[in-house]
Structure 1
């Protein structure tokens, strides 16, 4: 019987570090690709920040409120949280990447910014994978599973908070007075969170499911690294994801306050969590397309709380400008300096050794 991707991973991981480099380095194509990404990113930034009337008005209002008025304090605090937001993401990637090879936090932070810039111009932000992988010196194909694992941890945090937020709105505005329906929704929320959490600690089930689906079978070997991550490391990464989620939510709350949205903290937190979840569940063509999904969700949920659409819309657009547009522009600096082609060489064992899949005993 042929070996599964998970079983064959341990046998092939050592060989991947010593595979010969390509015979020819297509340096001209690499330079052209970097310039193309730079021009495309700058074009999208111009379209979203200048040509788009709603976003342009939002960032001008953000700038005006940061320079004076009652909104200055919250806006400046939200701006100061931007490095912390992406620093936590870099910390998360650093924990995952050093399972594959020794890597510094500085390089991990650079990889996150490069991935953010490439994701800005690619469908469903798949460029995020390429940006992080190209910053590694070896085992780049194995890194696909590591990037997916990091994004999945962030999804778990988003689903956990988002389902609770949406549950509040469902119980308050849609099924109030129907105890049986309310009980069913609570149970459904619990089951959804368990269903999302299970594959994180039993990723061999996810690899087996991908292997069983013929169109996805070719991706199974890239995900085979996931079951080698110990449960303790996964828990740490999940906690970092939760911290990053809190920072992101705090930024949204500060911007809502800056634009004059007045509502109780609990319902506002539920609306923010529901907005993030709905945005995460909808595929997008690029980062710019995420804007419409987030704004539609935010204005609807805050509308149920009696808040006008315009300040909510401005706060949500400003959140996108601070956390996506500005860091993507900064990431262009590192994209131009990125070494796409590297000479493969043997890499010493990482500090966190990958256990054999059959010996691992994951636990929640």
Structure 2
């Protein structure tokens, strides 16, 4: 059975960097996010790693893991939100004691998704794929991003419904942030490989495919054991987002997952919008999705609100979900059961 954490409206939020920290010239971003959350009644507790960055790491793997575990086991901290992602989160997994981990929300995306998925697969504790700390610094949150509060304050047994965004951000412009941080200019359209309406249900699992495709074959990526132990062999509804992989790299990663058995009990796959979907010799992302759909004989939905083209929904690893796409609009209903 999946265990669902929950937070209160005045929760203390721990900010630690399991991957990349924030260099000194960008410390104002941390302060801005802390101010916004404090104004909303939250308390913010920073770890040392949030403020440091040397080349591609906030600190050594051992230091990052130790600070994360300290926050996970600090009863005063109700949830953890890393500043952002990074490059080498995988380094810390061998230093995380999954058997001595309290039940609390961890929220983030990008490189952080490897930690999220590892926690859920290893412990059965639900984790939250969604906004990171830096992106909460705006004067207000767009409707899609803002759902993180409603989702993470839900209790076991509750049902949370989210709908697709109206508009999304095509390109980042860090020099000219808007009042909600993002530049939401493009019309959102959820698509299906079948070009028809789709309804899919299953247990959600996923993350940034660039990083989580390294988990199959490790102690942190045993999907078969997770299904048997925590799901009673219920089907999995996967969601992925591609940050930097070429379309051929995406295809290779999906083949690796398939050969590792990740898709053996799969009801469908969803893909987030991606800036990396440049065709290789005419081989584009839609061709990758179509081949996967035909091979696995499952529906594939793409361009959902997930990943590096914000805004993004808060998707809960381990939650039972019903997803419906019709006429370009999407609905995700998550059951905390």
Smaller-chain TM-score range?
A: under 0.3
Which is richer in helix?
1
> Which structure has the highest strand share of the two?
2
Larger Rg: 1
Superposition TM-score, scaled by structure 1 size: 0.22
